[in-house]
Amino acid sequence: MEFFSTKKGLFTLGIIAGLGAALLAFLGNPKNMAFCIACFIRDTAGAMHFHSAEVVQYVRPEVIGIIVGAFVISLLTREYRSTAGSSPALRFFLGVIMMVCALVFLGCPLRMVLRMSAGDISSYVGLVGFVAGIATGAFFLKKGFSLGRAYTAKKESGYALPIVVAVIFALFLAVPSLFAFSEKGPGNIHAPVIASIAVGILIGFIAQKSRMCFAGSVRDIILLKDFRLISVIGGIFLVMLIYNIATSNFAFVAYGPIAHAQTLWNILSMYGVGFAAVLLGGCPLRQLVLAGTGSSDAAITVLGMFVGAALAHNFKLAAGAAAVADAAKGIEASAGGPGINGQIFVVVSIIVLFVIAAVGLKKADK
């Protein structure tokens, strides 16, 4: 097992995760969105009637699989630790911010990498903001930022979220009428349920064992000059690059499917995602995994992400996708991007992130 803590081992795990993502893309998940934590939480929130955007409503088994997979593997390897008490209220709001900013970009860091592997130039633009946000968060970490210590809690506390999502999945299978389902749009495009839950569990296993984190990999490079964690991301990127080339899905374009061409807001939104992820100690994927392995603080963050997804669509904060003119279908050309509500939210969120980071420094100084 020591092999999987080396660069080669982590790269191997990344390849396996990439194969899982490629399989989901092949079996029917939306193009340019084989696996996206933010988008899948948004779809699941819509299916649970948290928002009424009809084109993004579907219970995504992948999200459930990640949490359950991380939970099971942590129990089997005796790495499960039930903890709580590290600024839960702040973590909730940071989860909201991270989610809304991701939906302004139209994707989480995982989807950003998958878009990059398809030649989507707007995703490379988002990467600039993401790295800058991580660098800002790393600066505050070096200065002593902390959300406070987490304390050992009753082990049953950490069971709550895995059990809840397992129940939601059971209800999804047994009583689908409880949920809303998109009849068109991204929410109506998905791989078979069995494949989705299986790959989700696989990713949960891999992400727990490898400590996979898109923000953490860049943070480690900046702070420690440690390139091991980026090896996992490299494996995913390589597999998806090969898949996209093999399926003629690779092309350097200004923006791909379900993306937008607003450069400033691609940068600023992902800046917010990167900054928030460092303050939280992990990207959206990492939060799901931590929640599955016993962290009640991460579970609170995940709840914040669900609320953020609802807010993004109930208050028109999420960006719209760019569109190419098609007279036959009555579609006008559009660069997409966020409306004024989303733009204001991103700017205010970045200010709030600086405030939280500064307050964290003051607490550390004491």
Q: How confident is the model at residue 365 (pLDDT cuts 50, 70, 90)?
A: very low
What pLDDT shows up at residue 323?
A: 81
Q: How confident is the model at residue 335 (pLDDT cuts 50, 70, 90)?
A: confident
Q: What is the largest CA-CA distance in the chain?
A: 65
Give me the mean pLDDT over the 54-79 stretch: 97
Better-predicted residue by pLDDT, 302 or 329: 302
Calculate the average pLDDT of the chain: 94
What pLDDT shows up at residue 331?
A: 61
Q: How confident is the model at residue 328 (pLDDT cuts 50, 70, 90)?
A: low
Q: How confident is the model at residue 364 (pLDDT cuts 50, 70, 90)?
A: very low
Q: What is the three-class DSSP state of 74? A: helix
Write the pLDDT tens digit of every residue in 25-34.
Answer: 999 998 778 8
What pLDDT shows up at residue 270?
A: 98
For the beta carbon of residue 38, count every other beta carbon within 10 angstroms. 31
Write the pLDDT tens digit of every residue in 36-53.
Answer: 999 999 999 999 999 999
Give me the mean pLDDT over the 110-127 stretch: 97
Q: What percent of the chain has pLDDT over 90?
A: 90
Write the pLDDT tens digit of every residue in 200-218.
Answer: 999 999 999 999 999 999 9
Residue 287 in this model has a pLDDT that exceeds 90: yes
Write the pLDDT tens digit of every residue in 291-326.
Answer: 999 999 999 999 999 999 999 999 999 999 998 755
Q: Bin 35: left if φ > 0, else alpha if -120 < ψ < 50, else beta.
A: beta
Residue 264 in this model has a pLDDT that exceeds 70: yes
**Overall number of domains in the chain:** 1
**Residue in the block written with tokens 């480690």:** 220
Give me the mean pLDDT over the 6-23 stretch: 95
**What letter does residue 118 receive in the DSSP assignment?**
T
Determine the structural domain holding residue 76 and report its residue range: 2-365
What does 161-230 look like in DSSP terms, one character per residue? HHHHHHHHHHHHHH-GGGS---SSSGGG----HHHHHHHHHHHHHHHHHHT--HHHHHHHHHHH---HHH
What pLDDT shows up at residue 329?
A: 57
Report the alpha-carbon distance of residue 153 to residue 85 in Å, rounded: 9
Better-predicted residue by pLDDT, 33 or 250: 250
Residue 161 in this model has a pLDDT that exceeds 50: yes
Report the alpha-carbon distance of residue 187 to residue 163 in Å, rounded: 24
Write the pLDDT tens digit of every residue in 67-86.
Answer: 999 999 999 999 999 999 99
Q: How confident is the model at residue 334 (pLDDT cuts 50, 70, 90)?
A: confident
Residue 198 in this model has a pLDDT that exceeds 60: yes
Residue 256 in this model has a pLDDT that exceeds 50: yes
